[in-house]
């Protein structure tokens, strides 16, 4: 039987996946990578939460972001993960990668600013220890 996942382990796993996705962005396109060190906990259900964070990659002027996001989509589809596609509020191509773990997902799209790719993460669900308040930064 698998040991219960801690929020710290969930955070480490989600941030590792953010960086795995970031590594698929062509090196000559990426200008900077900003992985947020703190995130928040959201409810999965009445007893469990997941850790949510993000990484932002600034790309060089003139970089076409949609083909990069589509290549990331193809990579994860080829590796057997469930990937859904839609358009964000700015009509930019957006993918959601859903690994099999409950609650875990990664959303990748052009960010709110030009030349920005944003990777939002949600970890696998876990149970907080008794007495830990889920509000605030984690």
Question: Where along the chain do its domains lie?
Answer: 7-122
Across the range 9-33, mean pLDDT stands at 97
Identify the band that residue 3 occupies on the pLDDT scale cut at 50, 70 and 90: low
CA 2 to chain centre: 23
Question: What pLDDT score does 2 carry?
Answer: 54
Question: What pLDDT score does 1 carry?
Answer: 42
Considering only CA atoms, which of 118, 122, 119 is closest in space to residue 138? 122
Distance between the two ends of the chain, CA-based, in angstroms?
27
What is the value of pTM for the model shown?
0.93
pLDDT tens digits, one per residue of 44-64: 999 999 999 999 999 999 999
pLDDT tens digits, one per residue of 82-131: 999 999 988 999 999 999 999 999 999 998 888 999 999 999 999 999 89
How high is the mean pLDDT of the chain?
Answer: 95
């Amino acid at each position: 039987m698998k040991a219960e996942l801690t929020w710290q382990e969930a955070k480490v796993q989600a941030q590792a996946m953010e960086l795995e996705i970031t590594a698929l962005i062509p090196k000559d396109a990426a200008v900077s990578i900003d992985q947020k060190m703190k995130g928040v906990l959201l409810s999965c259900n009445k007893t469990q939460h997941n850790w949510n964070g993000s990484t932002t990659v600034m790309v060089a002027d003139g970089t076409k972001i949609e083909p990069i996001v589509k290549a990331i989509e193809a990579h994860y589809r080829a590796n057997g993960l469930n990937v859904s596609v839609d358009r964000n509020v700015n009509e930019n191509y957006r993918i959601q990668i859903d690994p099999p773990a409950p609650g875990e997902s990664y959303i990748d799209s052009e960010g709110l600013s030009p030349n920005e790719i944003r990777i939002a993460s949600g970890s696998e669900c876990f149970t907080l220890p008794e007495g830990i308040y889920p509000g605030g930064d984690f």
